[in-house]
């Protein structure tokens, strides 16, 4: 049920007073609350200058945005999409406050907090360039708009790795997918191949076990969390190929048909039939935006201190894009909150010297 952004009361959509701001509909318990909200949020496009710019719409960026708003920092969020990787998680069982929640449900709650409860200025676009200016930073977006701020939080997360084998590009979205997808009906009763041995791969095996006739899981090693791996051991129709590598993906005009694999360091090969191929071999950090400014480690992650600061004063980073240990939603959210607190302290110190 939506909440009134002024008094925070739950309001039924049918009975509520509504108003629109920035393309979003807001629900109010009374005309008084609506009028107060409209007075506090006059219709306007984004300004060109803010105290803080946050780049990224995943758990780290959204948490940083809500924290910054609560701390009364003048904030602008630039995001390519709302939710980041979390939106692809079909089962989140390790986020406090929820025994179980799906990624899309959790992201909807994040979105409500960003837009309905706090209303943070934001724009859906890619931040293409980040540069230092005399008194802060300048961010240029994909539509060539430029925004300046005293401080920036980079919360750009990670993107999935590709296999780089023949057939991968050709059958992408014609049976080859990265990570899990909501509608698995196209493999109903057929064979599926999952490539990878981490938590994401095992989650896909879990999702497939009531759908596919057989699931072949190909990985150099299985390194998912013990509880996740233990659960997957109960899936009789899942066959593991540990220590095998994918050589090529094959198919025809109607889509993917199979995967050729080879045992590492051996001549042994196997041809696995596949109505669907799910690649989950890890991710790489989206650190390109800050690469020319801040120090990266050998994994390409932005090196941060305990307060999410980088080696560039005023530039902070949070979540999966950073060197922080643990790539999890709860950790990315916590790091986002920390980055907002640190950015605020930095901005306050600048205000004292202005
Ligand atoms: C399939 C899957 C299942 C998972 N399941 C779980 C789970 O059950 N529990 C758990 O704790 N974790 C899970 N994770 C991991 C979790 O989703 C991540 O740790 C978390 O989303 C990291 O958050 P983040 O905000 O740092 O980065 P991301 O979620 O990667 O978000 C980054 C955001 O930045 C945006 N962005 C990137 N570059 C730019 C740019 N230049 N300009 C503008 N925007 C940009 C992206 O579009 C995205 O919105 C899962 C991950 C996957 C892939």
The sign of the torsion formed by the CA atoms of 61, 66, 71, 77 equals positive
How many angstroms separate the CA atoms of 253 and 84, rounded?
A: 32
* Residue 106 CB–ligand 1 contact under 6 Å: no
* Residue 196 CB–ligand 1 contact under 6 Å: no
- d(CA 12, ligand 1 centre) in Å: 32
- d(CA 87, ligand 1 centre) in Å: 8
How many angstroms separate the CA atoms of 43 and 58, rounded?
A: 26
pLDDT at position 176, please? Answer: 93
Task: Kindly give the number of the ligand 1 atom that is closest to the alpha carbon of 89.
Answer: 3
Burial class (CB in 10 A: 0-12, 13-18, 19+), 306: exposed
* Residue 258 CB–ligand 1 contact under 6 Å: no
pLDDT at position 72, please? Answer: 93
DSSP conformational letter for 87: G
What are the CA-CA distances from residue 96 to residues 106, 225, 276, 309, 333 (Å)?
A: 11, 18, 33, 26, 11
Residue nearest ligand 1's atom 8 by CA: 92
pLDDT at position 325, please? Answer: 94
* Residue 62 CB–ligand 1 contact under 6 Å: no
The residues of the chain scoring below 70 in pLDDT are 22-23, 42-45, 182
- d(CA 77, ligand 1 centre) in Å: 16
* Residue 317 CB–ligand 1 contact under 6 Å: no
Question: What is the pTM (predicted TM-score) of this model?
Answer: 0.78
- d(CA 313, ligand 1 centre) in Å: 25
Residue ranges and CATH numbers for the domains of the chain are 1-44 (no CATH), 48-158+284-353 (3.50.50.60), 176-281 (3.50.50.60)
Task: Kindly give the number of the ligand 1 atom that is closest to the alpha carbon of 59.
Answer: 25
How many angstroms separate the CA atoms of 194 and 280, rounded?
A: 7
Residue nearest ligand 1's atom 13 by CA: 328
pLDDT at position 279, please? Answer: 95
Sheet architecture: strand order including 244-252: 244-252, 255-263, 269-273
- d(CA 54, ligand 1 centre) in Å: 15
The string of pLDDT tens digits covering residues 313-346 is 999 999 999 999 999 999 999 999 999 999 999 9
* Residue 282 CB–ligand 1 contact under 6 Å: no
* Residue 141 CB–ligand 1 contact under 6 Å: no
């Amino acid at each position: 049920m939506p909440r009134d952004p002024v008094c925070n009361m739950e309001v039924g959509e049918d009975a509520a007073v509504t108003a629109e701001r920035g393309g979003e509909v807001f629900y109010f318990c009374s005309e008084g609350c609506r009028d107060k909200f409209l007075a506090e949020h006059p219709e306007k496009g984004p300004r060109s200058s803010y105290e803080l710019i946050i780049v990224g719409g995943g758990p780290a960026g959204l948490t940083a945005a809500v924290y910054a708003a609560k701390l009364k920092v003048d904030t602008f969020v630039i995001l390519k999409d709302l939710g980041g990787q979390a939106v692809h998680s079909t089962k989140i069982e390790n986020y406090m406050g929820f025994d179980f929640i799906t990624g899309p449900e959790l992201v909807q709650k994040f979105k409500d907090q960003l837009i309905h409860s706090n209303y943070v200025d934001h724009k859906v676009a890619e931040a293409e360039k980040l540069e230092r200016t005399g008194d802060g930073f300048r961010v240029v977006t994909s539509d060539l708009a430029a925004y300046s701020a005293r401080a920036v939080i980079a919360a750009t997360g990670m993107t999935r790795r590709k296999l780089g084998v023949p057939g991968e590009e050709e059958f992408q979205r014609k049976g080859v997918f990265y990570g899990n997808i909501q509608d698995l009906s196209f493999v109903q009763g057929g064979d599926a191949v999952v490539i990878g041995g981490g938590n994401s791969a095992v989650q896909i095996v879990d999702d497939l076990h009531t759908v596919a006739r057989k699931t072949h899981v190909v990985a150099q090693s299985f390194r998912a969390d013990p509880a996740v791996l233990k659960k997957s051991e109960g899936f009789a129709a899942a066959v593991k190929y540990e220590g095998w590598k994918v050589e090529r993906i094959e198919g025809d005009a109607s889509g993917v048909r199979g995967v050729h694999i080879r045992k590492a360091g051996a001549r042994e090969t196997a041809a696995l039939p596949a109505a669907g191929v799910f690649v989950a071999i890890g991710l790489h950090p989206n650190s390109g935006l800050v690469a020319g400014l801040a120090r990266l480690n050998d994994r390409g992650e932005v090196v941060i201190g305990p307060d999410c600061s980088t080696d560039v004063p005023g530039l902070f980073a949070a979540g999966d894009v950073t060197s922080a240990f643990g790539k999890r939603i709860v950790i990315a959210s916590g790091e986002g909150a920390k980055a907002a607190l640190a950015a605020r302290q930095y901005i306050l110190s600048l205000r004292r010297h202005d």
